[in-house]
Structure formats: structure tokens, C-alpha cells
A and B are shown apart, each in its own frame.
Chain A
Amino acid sequence: MIEIENLSKAFTLHNQGGATIRVMQGATLSVAHGECVALTGASGAGKSTLMRMIYGNYLAEAGRIRVGDTVVTDAAPRDILRMRRDTLGYVSQFLRVVPRVPTLDVVAEPLLAVGTPLDDARARAADLLTRLNIPETLWGLSPTTFSGGEQQRVNIARGFAHEYPALLLDEPTASLDATNREVVLDLIEAAKARGAAIVGIFHDEAARDRVCDREIDVTVFTPARAA
């Protein structure tokens, strides 16, 4: 479902003397349907960078990324948007929403984007928020004012609202209590069971062991630091 071949990435800082920082070289991996792959490696090894490149948020310098039938590395913006809408979900660590939009609608939005009727979308959103223990009294409020943990759960609900065939998870269980952590792991297992291909970053080792089929240490893709 997700295929990455010989991917490399460098940042060129034009305003700092044109310094070039090479962060990835020759990254190659593939994730099948129903499989969950954990990216591991020390902080700064390029786990998030790789995830962002898969999502089309960072540009690749060379190599190829394919998600379903979208070749991310040479897709037009609208093809990437379509992929994000239909195929590839992303649960990041940070919630980025328009102020003033109620939580229920924030969660329902990915469903509305794929044409789910409003009532169905809201019902699904309500179900997820309930499972993630967000009190109903908060649903009508914008999540911008929520605590970090609450925001994280809203973010997860939003990421799992539409049943994407592929998912990127960046620390989905961080800052969650045991109960909610369990709910999230159930959601991940359910997604795998319906055939979703998942790439994730899990610092939570127990969680990683439970849901992940393989681990890939991205340190092997890190170029030797230029002397």
C-alpha cells in the first residue's frame, strides 16, 4: 500500500549562507495492507521527516514515494489533496484547526469531505468522542481552548473518523492516560483488521509491541554527518 524507494532529503537554508543539511538518504520500505510498521531511532534521526514526506508535507530531494495509486513524489497539489482526503490519514501531535469551529464538526470534517451526509458524519464523530472520553458538554466548543490531552484525543478522533486505507500516526498514545491509551490501541487494531496500512512513531514501547508488526530503524537512512 505504501512504497518508498531510495528516498533522500536535504534542507538548504538560503538565509544562512546556503547551508545544506542532509537528513536522509536511500530510505526504502514498504507497508502492506493490514500491516503496522513502527519507525524507530533516536530523536532527530528523521522519523517525523519521513512521515511528513509520505504525507506530501515535505518535498523529497530524490527517490519515490507511492501511497495507493498516488505517486506522492511527483503528484500535483490537487492529487495530493485527493490522496489526503480519500486514502491517507495523518494523526499528528498537534491539532491545527480553524478557531470557533465546534469540536464535533472538527471531527466530522474528514467525513464531510468525502461526501458523508451531515447526520451520519456527526453520529460517527459523536461515537468516537464518546469512546475517547471527551465529555459531551465540550463538543459544541472549539478544541483550541482544550488541554493538551484533550486536544490529542480530538486529533485522534478526527484521524480515525474516515476509514482511510492508509494511516500515519505520530505518537498517538503520548500524553494519554491508561484508559484512553487502550481506546486508541483498539482503534489502531480495528484499522489494521479492516486492512489499513499504518506507519507510526511510538515512544511507548508496550504500545509499539502490541500493535506493530515490524520496526524500521530510520538511523540507517541517516547520512553520515558531513565533516
Chain B
Amino acid sequence: MSPEPTTPLLSVRDIRKLYASHVGCTGVSFDLYPGEVMGIVGESGSGKSTLLNCMAGHLIPDGGQVIFDTRAEGPRDTVTMSEPERRMLSRTDWAFVHQHARDGLRMGVSAGGNVGERLMAVGARHYGDIRNKATDWLDRVEISPTRIDDRPSTFSGGMQQRLQIARNLVTGPRLVFMDEPTGGLDVSVQARLLDLLRGLVRDMGLSAIIVTHDLAVVRLLADRLMVMKSGHVVEQGLTDQVLDDPQHGYTQLLVSSVLQV
């Protein structure tokens, strides 16, 4: 058994992002430890995607800190670090899985090229090695290696999403941001993807932050849950505790609104 980590991988402190007419998100703080998976739920416009993009460096927050425990230098505020450093992080230690696979893939490049890009971006220069790694990763995300030279435009939605995950995880990141990773997929395809993600999270010891409006997804994937409404965190805690014993009126409404099958 590995010893319990004592330094958070990610510490978010009082993140605030304001848009001209309304609050994107405000007053968000939490610690994420290595190996933890946190879900962020809330309806459209609740600020969950804004928060995710602030943490992942896609948006510049108006205030607050996003402190990441870097391999080389320990905890660093990624909001104030230089852009090259932040982009390097997003190619190495971070990964971002988009809701729409086409936002996260190069549709004109073969599956192998898509998976290999991050390797080449960090200096891999041996074609055979890159190809072997790509083959291995396609296999891990349950895509037949015979499809390695096909373009993702010939893939189904579920396959595209799995390819996006392979492309993101090939460099062994420590933190994965996911924006509605199962959105827009058939239910059966969702289940397969969730199972895959769970296995990868456990096997690679990944930490993840998953934004979704699907409570079933967070129950299966997330250890912890944060509920957002109008840019504020209204409740957070252990996932099953928040879902089974919600304290805030909004969470109670959210939980009771789910259709039972």
C-alpha cells in the first residue's frame, strides 16, 4: 500500500471569474489530493465549465490561485506562472478531455498521429517507439490497433471519445480535467467509457476533476462532489454523502429531479 500523500496535488484558492454581465464563478476553494477524483455538478450556466477552464489555464481568472504540485519545483501558482510553463504543464502533467471529441482531436490526422502528438511534443523522435506506444494505448482504450492509420472522422462517437482519452493519457499525466466526458453518447457507450475511465484512474493513480450534469456519472467516478449554482459552490463533500443526504435546497432539488429507472 502506498503511503497517504500529504501535499495536495492541486489547491484552488478563492477562484473568481467575472463576465461583463454576470458572475462566472466566485469564492471557489478546495484541495485535491493525488489519486482523488472530484466531480463538479450543476445545471448549464452554473459556472462549472468556467471553473474548469480557469483551473486548466484556458481562462485567466480575475482573482485567486490555482496551485499545482509540480514535479520539479513543488507547489506553484499556475495562474501567475509564465505561459510557456503553463503550456508545458498542459502537455505533460495535465490532460483535458473535451465533451466533443472533435475539439480534442485532430480530425485530419490518423489515430496513431493523434496519440503520438503529445509524445512528439515532449521530444519523442523514434517513429517505431511512438507507433508502439500508440498501438498499446489504442488497445488500452479498446480500439483495434488495425485502426491506427484511420482518421478519427471514420470512428463512432464512443471511439472518438476513447481516442481522445488515449491521446491525453499517453504521456502519463497526473491530473485530468474532463468536461462532460460522456455527454452526447449513447447510454451503453457511456457505461463502457465510465468503466474504462475508472480502471485508468485506479491503475495510473490519476487525479481527476470531472464536470458533468449527470449525477450517475459522478456517483460512479467521483470520490468527492462539488455542487455549483449561479457561480457559487453551494455544497461539497463525499459524493455519496452529498447525493444521499444533501444539505442544501438546490442539491436536494437536483437529486430529487433525477428520473429513477
Which A residues fall within an 8 A CB radius of B?
Answer: 11-15, 52, 56-59, 77-78, 80-82, 96, 98-101, 112-115
Contacts and interface: CB of A to CB of B under 8 A. Distances in A.
B238 A100 contact: no
Nearest to A9: B245
A114 B4 CA distance: 12
B80 interface: no
Contacts of B240: 57
Contact of A58 (B195, B224, B244, B256): B244
B195 A99 contact: yes
B33 interface: yes
B195 to A, nearest CB: 5
A99 B191 contact: yes
Contact of A57 (B2, B195, B241): B241
Interface in B231-248: 237-238, 240-241, 244-245, 247-248
A57 B4 contact: no
Contact of A14 (B1, B223, B238, B248): B248
B238 A77 contact: yes
A112 B2 contact: no
7 contacts: A12-B247, A52-B245, A56-B241, A59-B247, A78-B33, A78-B36, A100-B192
A55 B43 CA distance: 29
A56 B253 CA distance: 22
A82 B224 CA distance: 13
B237 A77 contact: yes
Nearest to B221: A98
Interface in B121-166: none
B4 A59 contact: no
Contacts of A12: 247
B60 interface: no
Interface string B192-216: 1011001000100000000000000
B241 A115 contact: no
Contacts of A99: 191, 194-195
Contact of B223 (A58, A78, A101, A115): A78
Contacts of A52: 244-245
Contacts of A101: 195
A115 B202 CA distance: 11
Q: Which 5 residue pairs of A and B lie closest in terms of their CB atoms, listed nearest first?
A: A14-B249, A99-B191, A115-B1, A58-B245, A77-B238
B252 interface: yes
Nearest to A14: B249
Contacts of B1: 114-115
Nearest to A12: B247
B191 A100 contact: yes
B220 interface: yes
Contact of B238 (A13, A80, A112, A115): A80
Contact of B241 (A15, A58, A98): A58
A115 B1 CA distance: 5
Contacts of A113: 202
B241 to A, nearest CB: 6
